[in-house]
Amino acid sequence: MFGYVRPLKPELLMREFTRYKSIYCGICKQIGHDYGQLPRVGVNYDLTMLAVLLLSLSQQQPTDEVAGCILNPLAKRPIARGGEVLELCAGLTVLFAWYKAVDDVADEHPFSGRIAKIALKRSYRRAVNRFPAYDRWIASAMNDLRRLESGPPDPAASNVFGGLLSQIFSRSATLVCEDEPIRQAIGLLGGHLGCWIYLMDAIDDWTRDCNNGSWNPYGGLDLATARAAAGERLADLELEMDRTAALLPYRRDGGLIANIFTLGLPDTRQRILRGEKPTRL
């Protein structure tokens, strides 16, 4: 995962931002509990969004515990603790971190990728034992992407990552929802989000990829044309996600979810298309 899916912080209520940070920190704590300290560096905003979405639809909520952060143990803050949603997102964090390392070994960062694989090997095995189906889906999608990325540039490669997140979101929804149409809607949301993340990362990396001779779905275009094409497609995906997200039966955090899809995603898109990097929340 890449860290592009985030709320627009200035438009959040204080309680909404506190809730968001408690879930983000809760995933980090859960990773430390289940997989050790090293994988905690992989915690990201994208999987925090999945946790927020699932918990917004769930009757069962993790308890908040006031505790310190590993980076700032003296600063006490509410941190969500425990539950299937946080456990799943912690496991997915480890799985995605592992496959990023695998991709780095095969791509332009072989040394750092090998170091990451060594550091993550034990944690990855634990995650596979707990979530074998998710591991198979990620491995299959990464193989499909590698095959496509050996051919000519094609933005349709985003559909592979979209299909992966559709599977993950749909299966994850079984933790909080028994209604099949709702689970299908969550899968549809994940599919559009996966395409959005993949294309966002592609346009963010366009200059580096072209300078290094690496594959990029917009590699056959100049930067201005690539940004225009990506911007149009990304905006269309945001509209589809907004329509789907607006129909879900939230039990809580509807304002936080709306902020992510109607404000956060467009803000990130605009920043990336201007050549800026998103700042840490």
Q: Of 277, 269, 191, give the one whose Cα is nearest residue 229.
A: 269
Taking CB atoms within 8 Å and a gap of at least 24, the contacts of 228-231 are 229/155, 230/155, 230/199, 230/200, 230/202, 230/203, 230/273, 231/269, 231/273
Q: What is the rounded distance in angstroms from the CA atom of residue 54 to the CA atom of residue 60?
A: 10
Rounded to whole angstroms, the Cα distance separating 138 from 142 reads 6
State which residues of the chain have pLDDT below 70. Answer: 1, 108-109
pTM of the model: 0.96
Q: Which domains does the chain have, with CATH numbers?
A: 9-273 (1.10.600.10)
The residues facing 65 across adjacent strands are 79
User: Tell me, what's the pLDDT at 1?
Assistant: 57
At residue 123, the pLDDT reads: 96
Hey, is 10 helix, strand or coil? helix
**Token code pair at residue 53:** 């979405």
